[in-house]
């Protein structure tokens, strides 16, 4: 079993904050997204090259708060919007959970015509201070990375910085190998991405 990078996400206290931060960094307007009823969140999306996509996500105040923690640690998210999550896809979510039980329990989700199962910790907090990737399996023939209109952006590099990322990289190594993903030891946790555009490189953090 091997994972593949599916998408990356900017989180915000509000979706407006997440979208504004993303559009200023990327120089592109995000397209529509939708609501996630199970976790009372909403998003907007942008298609990237190579079957990837980009997401801005935040709690949705128009929906009643769920009686359990939201995914991506969004209940505890505070401060300026920032690149905060990376998401991997697999073909067998049961095998993924068996190999990486710390990733959480399978939650079956839907939005419009999309269907997927994601591993989500019960408390909503991903390991390694939130830097462990979320893991999903699509049950739709055409997930967003294959249907969104191209934006002219290509992910060149995603760098995960934190005090224990060497351990994180070693943990993922048996099931994930992507030359675009780098791990750098540092005191402060952060994710940074570089995108190739027709006008040159753009950075997002």
Q: Are 42 and 50 in contact (CB under 8 A)?
A: no
Give the Å distances, CA to CA, from 205 to 13, 81, 188, 191. 16, 9, 13, 6
Predicted local confidence at residue 142, as pLDDT: 87
User: What residues form DSSP beta bridges with 51?
Assistant: none
pLDDT at 1: 82
Q: Write out pLDDT tens, residues 14-38.
A: 999 999 999 999 999 999 999 999 9
List the chain domain ranges: 4-150
Q: What's the pLDDT score for residue 94? A: 98
Pairing of strands 114-120, 134-138: antiparallel
Q: Which of 204, 186, 201 is nearest to 56 (CA)?
A: 204
Check pLDDT > 90 for residue 134: yes
Q: Does domain 4-150 have CATH number 3.10.180.10?
A: yes
Read off the pLDDT of residues 72-92 as tens digits, 9 standing for 90 and up.
999 999 999 999 999 999 999
Rounded distance between C-alpha atoms, residue 161 and residue 55, angstroms: 20
pLDDT, tens digit (0-9, with 9 covering 90-100), for 77-130? 999 999 999 999 999 999 999 999 999 999 999 988 899 999 999 999 999 999
Query: Residue 184 belongs to what H/E stretch?
Result: strand 181-185
Residue 20, CA distances (Å) to 30, 82, 126, 152 in order: 9, 10, 25, 19
Q: Are 52 and 5 in contact (CB under 8 A)?
A: yes
Angstrom distance (rounded) from CA 44 to CA 11: 11
Task: Specify whether the CB–CB gap between 118 and 134 falls below 8 A.
Answer: yes
* Nearest alpha carbon to residue 53 among 62, 43, 41, 61: 43
The SS3 call for residue 169 is helix
Computed over every residue of the chain, the mean pLDDT equals 97
pLDDT of residue 23: 98
pLDDT digits (tens, 9 = 90+) for 33-59: 999 999 999 999 999 999 999 999 999
Over pLDDT 70: what percentage of the chain?
Answer: 100
């Amino acid at each position: 079993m091997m994972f593949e990078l599916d998408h990356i996400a900017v989180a915000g206290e509000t979706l407006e904050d997440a979208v504004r931060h993303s559009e200023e960094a990327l120089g592109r307007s995000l397209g529509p997204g939708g609501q996630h009823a199970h976790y009372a969140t909403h998003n907007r999306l942008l298609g990237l090259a190579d079957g990837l996509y980009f997401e801005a996500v935040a709690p949705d105040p128009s929906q009643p708060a769920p009686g359990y923690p939201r995914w991506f640690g969004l209940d505890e998210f505070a401060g300026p919007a920032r690149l905060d999550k990376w998401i991997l896809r697999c073909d067998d979510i049961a095998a993924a959970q068996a190999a990486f039980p710390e990733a959480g329990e399978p939650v079956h989700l839907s939005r419009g015509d999309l269907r997927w199962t994601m591993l989500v910790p019960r408390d909503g907090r991903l390991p390694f201070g939130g830097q462990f990737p979320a893991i999903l399996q699509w049950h739709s023939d055409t997930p967003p990375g294959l249907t969104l209109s191209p934006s002219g952006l290509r992910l060149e590099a995603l760098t995960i910085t934190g005090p224990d990322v060497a351990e994180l990289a070693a943990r993922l190594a048996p099931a994930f190998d992507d030359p675009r993903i780098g791990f750098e030891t540092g005191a402060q946790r952060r994710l940074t991405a570089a995108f190739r555009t027709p006008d040159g490189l753009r950075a997002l953090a």
